[in-house]
C-alpha cells in the first residue's frame, strides 16, 4: 500500500470510545467505518439514558478539539461533593462533610468536572464525527487541521463473525466488510472482547471465564426537574451550592449518589444495593422497582426512589482481565470498556474511554503504512495498560470506601470525615494514608494528555523503526523521514 493512501479502520460500536477514536482517526487522515448493533444512536429511546460525570482529563480533550461551547451548553459544572450516611438518623439526614474541587488542581489539568447526560455527549460526538459545524459555524479542527476523510456509519449492523487475520467482519445481514485494522469499542460484553477472550483460552472454556460479581448491583434512574422542584425535599438539590455538588450517601454495603445533569437539570440517581441478583443491562428496564432495593435509608434517598422513573440494573463486577488487548494477528484491538471495563458508573469510565480514542488516533497520525498496524496496536496496549489498570484499582477502592460494612474501619472513616468538616477542611483531606493516596492519584490522573503520550512513544520508539541507520549507542546517524500527517 502506498504510504499516502489512508488506512481503513473498522470500528465496532458507536460508544463514546468508538466515536472518539473515529473522530481522531479521521483527523489523522484515515478512512473509518463504524458498525453499531442498535438501530439508532444510543439505543432505544424508551430506555432512560443516565448521567455522566466527566472529569478534567476527559473534558479537556474535547475542549482542545473545539467542542467546549457545545459541551458546556449541555453540562453543569460540578464544584465538589457532599457526604452523608446512607441510613440517616432518627431525626433525618446525617451529614459527614463536603469536598470542593481545588481550583489549582483544575487550572493544572485545564479542565472542569462536568455533569452531562449520556445522550447529549454521544450526540455531540456523533455530530462531530459527521463533520457538522460547531455552534460558531466553524469546522471542528483536530491535530491542527480540518479533517477531510469520511466516517461512514451503519446502524442495525450486528457483527456475528470476524477474521482478524484477513481483517474482515461479517454482519448478521451477511454483508462482509474488509479493512486494514479492527477496533472493538462495543463494551465489556461485546463481540471483539469475547473473541479475544477465546484467544486467551480454549473457545469451549470461554463460558468458564465469567466476570466475578462483587455482591452489589447498581440501580440507575432519572427524576425529571419538573417533578423534583415540586417536592419539598428534592427541591433543595437545586439551591446553590448543592446544585453544583454530587450527593454521596455511604452505608454498610450500600450507597447512593444523586446529582443534576444536562441542560434540563434532571436528577441522576444511582443506588448501590446487595438486594438484587438480576444481571441486567443499560438497555433493559430492571425487574424490581428501585423502591424495593434501597433498604433502610434517609429521607432524601426515600424521596428520590419514590419519584424515580424506570430504572436499569447492572451488577458491579470484577471483570476478567484479558491477557492482551490486541489479537494474535495484530490487526484488531479493543479499547474503552471492551479493553478495561471499570466498575459501573465509575468516575473515569467516560474520561478514560475518551483518552483511549484520542491516543490511538494521534498514534496513527504518524504513519499510513499497513505494515505498522501490529506495532501501533501493541504500542497502544503497552503505553495505556498500566494507567488504565491503576485507575481501575482506584475506582474499586472508592466503592469499597463508600460501602464499608459496619465496624471499626467504617467508624474510623466517619470520624476522620467529621473531624475535617469541623476543622473547615475538605472531607478527603484526611490524615488517613489511604484517603490521601486516593486524592493524590486524582492529581496524577487529571493532568494526563493522551496526545502527548502518543507523541512521546513515537519520538522515543516509533520513529526509530524508520531510521536508515543508527549508531551502537542508539543515536540516529541520518535524518528520520517524517511520516506525520
**Which DSSP string do the residues of 279-323 spell out, in sequence order?**
---TTS--SS-GGGT--S--HHHHHHHHH--S-EEEEEEE----S
The answer to which of 283-287, 322-326, 351-355 has the lowest mean pLDDT is 283-287
Report the candidate in 189, 34, 227 with the shortest Cα–Cα distance to residue 122.
34
Domains of the chain: residue spans and CATH: 8-43+52-75+114-210+321-398+443-464 (3.50.50.60)
According to the model, what pLDDT value does residue 103 have?
87
pLDDT, the chain, mean:
87
Q: What mean pLDDT do residues 347-354 have?
A: 94
- 435, pLDDT greater than 70: no
Give the C-alpha separation, 39 to 156, whole Å.
4
Q: 454: part of which helix (H) or strand (E)?
A: helix 450-460
- 334, pLDDT greater than 70: yes
pTM for this one?
0.90
- 434, pLDDT greater than 80: no
pLDDT band at 46 (very low <50, low <70, confident <90, very high): low
pLDDT band at 475 (very low <50, low <70, confident <90, very high): very low
| Beta-sheet strands, E only, within 191-253 | 212-223, 245-251
According to the model, what pLDDT value does residue 148 have?
59
- 44, pLDDT greater than 70: no
Rg of the chain, C-alpha, whole Å: 23
According to the model, what pLDDT value does residue 284 have?
86
- 203, pLDDT greater than 80: no
- 156, pLDDT greater than 70: yes
According to the model, what pLDDT value does residue 50 have?
83
According to the model, what pLDDT value does residue 193 have?
95
> 463 vs 80, which has greater pLDDT?
80
Q: What mean pLDDT do residues 81-95 have?
A: 93
> 369 vs 281, which has greater pLDDT?
369
According to the model, what pLDDT value does residue 308 have?
93
The answer to which of 44-53, 280-289, 364-373 has the lowest mean pLDDT is 44-53
Q: What mean pLDDT do residues 355-383 have?
A: 96
According to the model, what pLDDT value does residue 48 have?
57
The answer to which of 219-228, 275-284, 292-301 has the lowest mean pLDDT is 275-284
* Model confidence pLDDT, tens digit, residues 229-266: 999 999 999 999 999 999 999 999 999 999 999 999 99
- 362, pLDDT greater than 50: yes
**For residue 8, what are the contacts with CB-CB under 8 A and spacing of at least 6?**
30, 31, 32, 33, 178, 179, 180, 181
Give the C-alpha separation, 448 to 451, whole Å.
9
- 1, pLDDT greater than 50: no
pLDDT band at 136 (very low <50, low <70, confident <90, very high): very low
H helices of 287-340, in order, are: 299-307
- 485, pLDDT greater than 50: no
- 445, pLDDT greater than 50: yes
Amino acid at each position: 500500500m502506498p504510504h499516502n493512501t489512508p488506512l481503513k479502520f473498522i470500528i465496532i460500536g458507536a460508544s463514546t470510545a468508538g466515536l472518539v477514536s473515529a473522530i481522531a482517526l479521521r483527523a489523522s487522515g484515515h478512512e473509518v467505518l463504524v458498525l453499531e448493533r442498535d438501530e439508532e444512536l444510543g439505543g432505544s429511546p424508551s430506555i432512560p439514558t443516565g448521567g455522566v460525570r466527566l472529569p478534567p482529563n476527559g473534558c479537556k480533550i474535547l475542549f482542545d478539539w473545539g467542542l467546549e461551547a457545545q459541551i458546556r451548553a449541555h453540562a453543569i459544572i460540578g464544584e465538589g461533593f457532599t457526604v452523608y450516611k446512607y441510613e440517616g438518623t432518627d431525626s433525618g439526614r446525617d451529614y459527614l462533610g463536603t469536598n470542593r474541587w481545588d481550583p489549582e488542581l483544575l487550572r493544572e489539568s485545564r479542565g472542569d468536572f462536568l455533569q452531562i447526560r449520556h445522550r447529549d455527549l454521544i450526540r455531540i460526538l456523533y455530530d462531530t464525527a459527521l463533520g457538522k459545524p460547531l455552534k460558531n459555524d466553524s469546522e471542528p479542527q483536530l491535530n491542527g487541521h480540518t479533517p477531510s476523510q469520511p466516517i461512514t456509519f451503519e446502524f442495525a449492523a450486528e457483527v456475528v463473525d470476524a477474521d482478524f487475520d484477513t481483517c474482515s467482519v461479517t454482519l448478521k445481514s451477511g454483508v462482509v466488510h474488509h479493512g486494514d485494522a479492527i477496533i472493538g469499542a462495543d463494551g465489556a460484553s461485546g463481540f471483539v472482547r469475547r473473541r479475544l477472550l477465546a484467544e486467551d483460552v480454549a473457545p469451549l472454556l470461554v463460558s468458564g471465564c465469567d466476570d466475578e460479581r462483587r455482591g452489589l448491583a447498581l440501580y440507575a434512574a432519572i427524576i425529571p426537574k419538573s417533578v423534583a422542584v415540586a417536592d419539598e425535599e428534592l427541591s433543595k438539590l437545586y439551591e446553590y451550592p448543592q446544585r453544583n455538588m454530587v450527593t454521596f450517601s455511604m452505608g454498610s454495603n450500600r450507597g447512593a449518589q444523586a446529582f443534576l445533569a444536562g441542560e434540563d437539570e434532571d436528577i441522576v440517581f444511582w443506588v448501590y444495593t446487595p438486594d438484587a441478583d438480576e444481571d441486567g443491562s443499560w438497555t433493559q428496564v430492571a425487574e424490581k422497582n428501585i423502591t424495593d432495593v434501597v433498604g433502610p435509608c434517609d429521607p432524601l434517598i426515600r424521596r428520590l426512589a419514590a419519584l424515580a422513573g424506570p430504572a436499569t440494573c447492572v451488577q458491579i463486577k470484577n471483570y476478567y482481565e484479558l491477557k492482551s488487548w490486541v489479537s494474535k494477528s495484530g490487526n484488531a484491538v479493543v479499547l474503552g470498556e471492551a479493553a478495561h471495563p471499570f466498575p459501573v458508573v465509575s468516575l473515569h469510565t467516560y474520561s478514560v474511554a475518551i483518552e483511549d480514542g484520542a491516543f490511538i488516533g494521534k498514534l496513527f497520525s504518524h504513519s499510513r503504512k499497513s505494515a505498522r498496524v501490529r506495532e501501533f496496536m501493541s504500542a497502544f496496549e503497552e503505553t495505556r495498560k498500566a494507567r488504565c489498570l491503576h485507575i481501575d484499582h482506584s475506582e474499586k477502592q472508592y466503592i469499597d470506601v463508600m460501602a464499608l460494612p459496619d465496624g471499626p474501619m467504617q467508624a474510623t472513616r466517619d470520624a476522620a470525615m467529621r473531624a475535617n468538616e469541623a476543622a473547615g477542611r475538605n472531607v478527603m483531606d484526611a490524615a488517613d494514608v489511604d484517603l490521601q493516596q486516593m486524592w493524590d492519584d486524582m492529581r496524577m490522573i487529571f493532568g494526563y494528555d493522551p496526545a502527548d503520550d502518543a507523541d512521546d512513544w513515537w519520538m522515543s520508539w516509533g520513529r526509530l523503526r524508520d531510521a536508515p541507520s543508527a549508531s551502537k549507542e542508539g543515536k540516529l546517524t541520518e535524518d528520520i523521514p517524517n511520516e506525520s500527517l
